[in-house]
Each structure stands twice: as C-alpha cells, then as structure tokens.
Amino acid sequence: MLNPNLQEIELDKEEFQRYSRHIILPEVGLDGQKRLKAASVLCIGTGGLGSPLLLYLAAAGIGCIGIVDFDIVDSSNLQRQIIHGISWIGKPKIQSAKDRILQINPYCQVNLYETHLSSENALEILKSYDVVIDGTDNFPTRYLTNDACVLLNKPNIYGSIFRFEGQATVFNYQGGPNYRDLYPEPPPPGMVPSCAEGGVLGVLCGIIGTIQATEAIKIVLGAENTLSGRLLLYNAWDMKFRELTLRPNPERPLIDKLIDYEQFCGIPQAQAVEAQEKTTIPEITVKELKDLINYGTNTFVLIDVRNVNEYEIAKIPGSILVPLPDIEDGRGVEKIRILSQNKKVIAHCKTGVRSAKALGILKEKGILGSNVKGGITAWSKEVDPDIPQY
C-alpha cells in the first residue's frame, strides 16, 4: 500500500524502540515507518541476492514480505546465501528464509509461494504486492518478472551478479524504463555462463542485494532519487562504481500479455540441440571409466574441460586439463590431437554439459571421443565420495 491511510496504522511501544533509528531520520520519521509497516514487497528467489535483501527488508519493518522459490538449501549455497544455515540443508529455502525473517522481526507477515514462477501464476502472485524485487539468476524468469510488472504497473527492482561484477536498477517506475529497454532480446542459451560455471564472490551478493533492499525502502517512502533510469555497475575487485543512463525505447514492442519465456529465451531449442549432440556423442558411465583406469590401459586419454580453479578443487586421477575456452579457440584442439595419437578421447566436466560441447567441436575437427555421463559430480557420488562436490 504505497499510499496508506497513516492514521489507521499504529506502532506499539516495542516497535518504537525497534525502529527508533529510522524514526529520528527526517527523511523517514514516524509517517515513513508507518508506510514501511503498511507496505508489501515480493522477492522472487532466496539465493545470493534474495538472502541479504530479505534480511534488511525484515529489519526495516516491511509489514508483508512475499517469497517465491522452489529450491532446497544446499551446502554450496551457504558461502553467499546468508539467510540460510547448516540446520536447513536439504529443506525448502522459503521455509528457511521465513524462519530467519521471524527471528529478526516477528512483526513481519511472511507469505510463501513454493512454486516455479510461470506465465500461468505470475500475475496472480504479483498483483497484491506494492513492490517486486527480482532476485533470480536466469533469463526466462527475468523477462517474465519484467513483463508481469509492466502489465500490473508494479515497480521491479533488478539486480544481477557474476564473478566480481554486479548491476542494479529500478524498472517500470514512474514512467521509467523496463528490463526490455536494457535487454530487448535474451542472449543465446549458454552464451552467458551461470554463477555455478563462472563463480561469484560471495560478498558481492550482499552488496547488490542490499542496494535492491535500499531501493525498495526508498520507493515505499516515496523518495524521488531512486535508481529508475540509472543502471548502477559495481566491480568489487576494483572497488569501483559506474552509472549508465537508461531511457525508455519508443520502438520497443508492446507488452500486452505473458508469453512462453522458455521458448522466447531459446531454451527448448538449445535442449533439442543438446539432446541431438548426446545421441551422436557416445557416453560412458563413471563406473565404466573407473574400470578403464583400474585396468591401467593406455588406450585412452582423459580430458577435463573445466577451468583451472575447478580442477584445483577436485580432479579424476589421470585427467589432463584442457579448458573448454581453449578448445573453442582452437588451441586446445591441437593439444588434444597430439595427446590422443593412437588413443581414444574421453572427456568430462562438472556434469557433462561442457564436455559434450567440447566433444562436438572435436568431432568437427575429426577427433572422436566419449563423454563421461554426469561428469565429476557423478564420480564423487558413485565412485569416490572423498572427491569434493561444489
């Protein structure tokens, strides 16, 4: 409720004490704190961005917080998804987030939507909230969130992170631009590596997520100097901020309905290509690979196409590192050609996706090979549990 009847909203004695540092700010005051209590904010995702922003929204006194997520807590999340803890591993993230929010502020109402946000449910979920915060990490959900906010006329607070770099802005607010003004079309599938493939500095999530929470609070308070029309760029490694001006594109297509965003982002097409590649590239299981290694045969060469840092975390005995980017630019192809003279090539990565791509490139160059199904993750689960999973 961005324009609540403030006379109907009251704070009790404990709330005055809890929010006193806010209330003494001239820019917030008692009326501003009442606005925060009356407001409803929906966060899509409880990962790296959602974790810190949810903590600060709760601490700020947002009266109603909605959370959309369907994932479970994994140990690999804890380095950056600070709302979760060890005791919640294997359990739903939204339940973990709610528990932590209520520990910070029992005055918050927390609504949970343990579901995949889709074109079928997005409008129904978003319609009752004042502000929407995009804490997702995939393009279909980003475009879906944007379009639903445009149709419902909701401000959409955007953030993204990768390695050491982050972005934040406010979309669809007071006539400002939306996500399609910044990115009219999604990149080809696989063109932008995920954080699972490229990595991310944990504290970067906290910085960008906290900026998103700040913008949500400012919008509720009616502040004029939001990030609408401004894209904030942050490089944690260089400790530098930059800002780009964003404007609505008068030629952008009209958003008048929700569409199939998986199709729009080319996911089914990419999956079809991947499936076709799998049918043309032989696979072996990790147990079959283990047998080959145990036999001590010199008939194959095992190529690891992950990056150097992944190789340092965990490796299969006898594997030779040739990163996928080296294969893509041709240098790795020649190296593998030399290594594989009179030998069969067997390739692996983390889960088998990148190695399948590498083998497709090698096949075009006349080098045939087999892919390790499930990659080193399957090796850790089925062959050697001492190999770390990441």
Residue 370 is given by DSSP the state E
* Amino acid (1-letter code) at residue 90: G
- Are 179 and 44 in contact, with CB atoms under 8 Å apart? no
Q: What is the spatial distance between Cα 198 and Cα 195, in angstroms, rounded to a whole number? A: 5
Helical axes 353-364 vs 331-339, angle rounded to 10°:
80
What backbone torsions phi and psi does residue 21 show, to the nearest 5 degrees?
A: -70, -25
User: Which among 43, 108, 205, 349 is annotated as catalytic?
Assistant: 349
Q: What is the spatial distance between Cα 317 and Cα 313, in angstroms, rounded to a whole number? A: 13
* Amino acid (1-letter code) at residue 246: L
Q: What is the spatial distance between Cα 40 and Cα 32, in angstroms, rounded to a whole number? A: 14
Burial class (CB in 10 A: 0-12, 13-18, 19+), 97: buried
Alpha carbon of residue 212 to chain centroid:
14
Residue 314 tokens read as 């965990």
- Distances in Å between the Cα of 185 and the Cα atoms of 142, 181, 264 are 12, 9, 9
User: Which among 108, 195, 205, 265 is annotated as catalytic?
Assistant: 195
Please tell me whether residue 238 adopts helix, strand or coil conformation: coil
Catalytic, 349? Answer yes
Catalytic, 195? Answer yes
Q: Which of the residues are catalytic?
A: 195, 349
